[in-house]
Amino acid sequence: MKPTLFLLAAGMGSRYGGLKQLDGLGPNGETIMDYSIHDAIKAGFGKLVFVIRKDFEQDFRDKIISKYEDHIPCELVFQSIHDLPEGFTCPEGRTKPWGTNHAVMMGADVIKEPFAVINCDDFYGTDSFRVMGEFLANLPEGSTNTYAMVGFRVGNTLSESGTVSRGVCGTSSGRMLASVVERTKIQRIDGEVKYLDDDNTTWVTISENTPVSMNFWGFTPDYFAYSTDYFKRFLSNPKNIENLKAEFFIPLMVDELIHNNTATCEVLDTTSKWFGVTYPEDRQDVVNKIKALVDEGAYPKHLF
């Protein structure tokens, strides 16, 4: 069975100013997710599932889904802050979504095969889809508790505009994920990649090839049940209810399953260079990078 690509598209790009998932950045108005889907089809993925907010469903169908339906099966699922396990209600005053792993939970009814999860507004590159596609396609039928994460080389994810925030990964046995530590300030200084330590005074040098998480995960369907169980515990913690911005993130769930020895997560090395739009000032740089890839023949001039 071919793996599924699950695309997280429910978030509004608040810092960017609008629905950056629908922003045309390619030479013919292609979105970043157009390139991800092109790469995924090439890598052998057999279905697309998008999680979005219900209020922009028609716009999404008109601008996005219509392009792909003749190329690959597509499904839509919806994320709402009121989609909670039985016995729980959304606290009064909360408007923020419950986070990336809550979005993943919305796919439980339509995904029954190994699947990958990506952000719609991140450009991951052809090789990253190749390594994830091979991992998922090669899993024995009925596999459980066997996950993966594309580990981008930190030197391939930096910005020329300043510091970036990345989940720096620790590994065991060379390729198994052991930890993800969020480093909020990473940049190249005097030719070396460095992050600002917890004391906010010391810059620590790390290798160019240190793996970092860019939210490109691979799971088997058992992940949904674990997520539901853990989300109930998350919601039962008064701190997470009182904090109207508390979020249930994918690394939080994966870290839980790794540390209680329920699951393993392999870190997949890739040569792909990540880039994306976080702030409006980033837009032209992304346009230029995509144009360069098209000009050198890495992508056709017309994707779909």
pLDDT of 5 strictly over 80: yes
Rounded to an integer, what distance in angstroms lies between the CA atom of residue 205 and that of residue 202? 10
pLDDT-based confidence at 64, cuts 50/70/90? confident
pLDDT of 18 strictly over 60: no
Tokens encoding 244? 């109207």
Question: Is 1.10.10.10 the CATH number for 4-145+213-261+278-295?
Answer: no
Query: What's the DSSP call for residue 145?
Result: S
Rounded to an integer, what distance in angstroms lies between the CA atom of residue 19 and that of residue 66? 18
208-221 burial code (b ≥16 CB/10 A, e <16):
eebbbbbbbbbbbb
Residues 276-303 have a mean pLDDT of 89
pLDDT of 19 strictly over 80: no
Identity of the residue numbered 136? L
Rounded to an integer, what distance in angstroms lies between the CA atom of residue 72 and that of residue 46? 7
- Condensed to tens digits (0 to 9), the pLDDT of residues 203-237 reads 999 999 999 999 999 999 999 999 999 999 999 99
CB of 208 closer than 8 Å to CB of 193: yes
- Written as one string, the DSSP assignment of 174-216 is TTEEEEEEEEEEEEEETTEEEEE-TTSS-EEEE-TT-EEEEEE
pLDDT of 16 strictly over 60: no
281: Cβ–Cβ under 8 A, 6 or more apart, which residues?
Answer: 161
pLDDT of 183 strictly over 80: yes
pLDDT of 133 strictly over 80: yes
